[in-house]
Amino acid sequence: MGQPMSFYEDKILPHIIDKACSMGQVMKLRSQVVPQAKGKVLEVGMGSGINLEFYNPEHVELVYGLEPSEGMRRKALPNLERASVDVEWLDLPGEQIPLADESVDTVLLTFTLCTIPDWHAALQQMKRVLKPGGELLFLEHGESPDTSTQKWQHRITPGWKKLAGGCHLNRNIADLIRLAGFEIQELENLYIPKAPRIAGYIYKGRATKPTQS
């Protein structure tokens, strides 16, 4: 299962990530993406369960919450108690999804793809468990198209990763999703107001698994 988590990773980092990922503008974006989920949902990197309040219980049968961090799962307990949908924890990393082929209707990614070490393996796993025609909903931050911002993203990422749980500032999320074989149906890009530009460039959208892959 890999090396045990350090005190920082287990006790301190979950609080930092929870605060950063629940700012007002970020929550507004979450409220636009999460309600689109339907059927059996796999949320990759559920973290502290920030998204739970936005699921539509009339459309969602079950949420599989994939979260390898014990600290984040502890942080999620209050949100789980208030949740209007059923949640089943999966405590493996994104590269190892313990679900059957073509078993979920929706995969949800919110501020997760930036941290997964082997993003390609993880996206292949998501595609494997998603039903043909199923949807990948994504809300991620990543590489800016602006040359000056991009330069700083590449410069800062090696040090940033060590402090921010493996977060990469410079991944082109849309390209990664396409390279994994998904077809992007909707894509919106924007900067989060008042956020640092190096960490605030957003990829928000919806992709589908081809009916024949």
- The structural architecture, per CATH, of the domain 7-208 is 3-Layer(aba) Sandwich (3.40)
pLDDT at 139: 97
Instruction: Please compute the mean of the pLDDT values over residues 53-64 and round it to a whole number.
Output: 97
Banded pLDDT at 59 (limits 50, 70, 90): very high
CA–CA separation, 183 and 210 (whole Å): 7
pLDDT at 176: 97
Nearest to 141 by CA among 65, 198, 69: 198
CA–CA separation, 85 and 108 (whole Å): 15
Question: pLDDT for 69-84, tens place per residue?
Answer: 888 888 888 989 999 9
Banded pLDDT at 199 (limits 50, 70, 90): confident
Go through 144-161 and write b for each residue having 16 or more CB atoms within 10 A of its CB, e for each that does not: beeeebbebbeeebeebb
Instruction: Please compute the mean of the pLDDT values over residues 54-76 and round it to a whole number.
Output: 91
Instruction: Please compute the mean of the pLDDT values over residues 177-194 and round it to a whole number.
Output: 94
Instruction: Please compute the mean of the pLDDT values over residues 161-168 and round it to a whole number.
Output: 80
Distance between alpha carbon 120 and the CA centroid of its chain, in Å?
Answer: 14
For the cut 90, the answer to whether the pLDDT of residue 65 exceeds it is yes
DSSP labels, the chain? --SPPPHIIIIIHHHHHHHHTTSHHHHHHHHHHGGG--EEEEEET-TTTGGGGG--TTTEEEEEEE---HHHHHHTHHHHHH-SS-EEEE-S-TT---S-TT-EEEEEEES-TTT-SSHHHHHHHHHHHEEEEEEEEEEEE---SSHHHHHHHHHHHHHHHHHTTT--S---HHHHHHHTT-EEEEEEEEEPTTS-TTT-EEEEEEEE--S--
Question: pLDDT for 34-45, tens place per residue?
Answer: 999 999 999 999
> Of 92 and 88, which is predicted with more confidence?
88
For the cut 60, the answer to whether the pLDDT of residue 189 exceeds it is yes
Question: pLDDT for 1-52, tens place per residue?
Answer: 344 444 434 444 344 444 454 556 888 999 999 999 999 999 999 988 999 9
For the cut 90, the answer to whether the pLDDT of residue 148 exceeds it is yes
Instruction: Please compute the mean of the pLDDT values over residues 106-125 and round it to a whole number.
Output: 94
pLDDT at 118: 92
Instruction: Please compute the mean of the pLDDT values over residues 107-127 and round it to a whole number.
Output: 94
